[in-house]
Each structure stands twice: as C-alpha cells, then as structure tokens.
Amino acid sequence: MTTAERPTGLYRSRDGMLLGVCKGIADYLDISLFWTRMLAVLFFLFSGLWPVGGLYLLAAMVMKPEPVVPFASAGEREFYDAYVNSRGLALHRLKHTFDHLDRRIQRMEDVVTNREYDWERRPHKS
C-alpha cells in the first residue's frame, strides 16, 4: 500500500483477535502488536477485569472499523469518515451527487433527442 492509500487514523482492525482494538492501536502507533497485547493483558490482571474490560469495550464501540478497501483519494477517506460518523449525512451527499449526475444525463438526452439535432455532425468512429 502506498502512503496515499494507507488509512491514517485510529481504526479498529477487522482481523484482530478480540474486536481488533489492540491491533488498531498497534498499527496507529506503529508499535509491535505483541507488546500492545501484553500491555492490555497486564492492565487486565493488575487493575481489575471490570474497569479495563469496560474501557476496552468502550474503545471498541468508539473506534471506527478499518476500511475494507484502501483509500484511493482524500475524497474517499472523507466519505468513509463521514459515513462512519453519520450515515444520514453520507447518504445525503450520495443523493446529491447522483441527482447532479441525473440532471447532466437528462441535459445530454435532451440535446440528442431534439428534432434540430444534426445527426450528420455527430462524431464518427474512425
């Protein structure tokens, strides 16, 4: 993956052992997954299961899941982040984009189906 495609940010890993929190943190901080998991286990053992378990589950709910497909552009990253944060807003943006494309297609159809359209001037394949 190139740096433009690599997701930058804190994401839950989709192929982590338990909800992907440790692997996501290790990827974000660019540290060893082994040491991240060891640190999590030590926190579990020495500070009690319920406080750390609750924080772990809270982190799993708050962290966005890692994208399935790498980002090809900043626009794709922006859309993914908007979708994960607010699905309604992302769907509104998609509807706006497709409405704009639909209007463009309608204008092209109007030009081509107009009685005054000169079929002899249309581009020919060479």
Give the count of beta carbons closer than 10 Å to the beta carbon of residue 81.
16
Please tell me whether residues 94 and 37 are part of one structural domain: no
pTM of the predicted structure, to 2 decimals = 0.52
Q: Is 100 in the same domain as 67?
A: no
Same domain, 20 and 60: yes
Q: What is the pLDDT of residues 77-115, one digit of tens each?
A: 777 777 777 767 777 878 888 999 999 999 988 887 877
Contacts of 85 (CB under 8 A, 6+ apart): 64
Could you tell me the residue range of the domain that residue 102 belongs to? 73-114
pLDDT for res 101: 93
**Element holding 90 (H helix, E strand):** helix 87-113
Sorted by sequence, the CB contacts under 8 Å of residue 52 that are 6+ apart come out as 40, 43, 44
User: 85 and 47, same structural domain?
Assistant: no
- 43 shares its domain with 79: no
Query: Using CA atoms, how far apart are residues 27 and 8, in angstroms rounded to an integer?
Result: 9
CA distances to 1, 96, 107 from 29, rounded to whole Å, are 17, 37, 50
User: What are the tens digits of pLDDT across the range 17-68?
Assistant: 888 898 889 888 888 989 989 998 888 888 877 888 888 888 888 887 877 7
Q: How far apart are CA 76 and CA 73, in angstroms?
A: 5
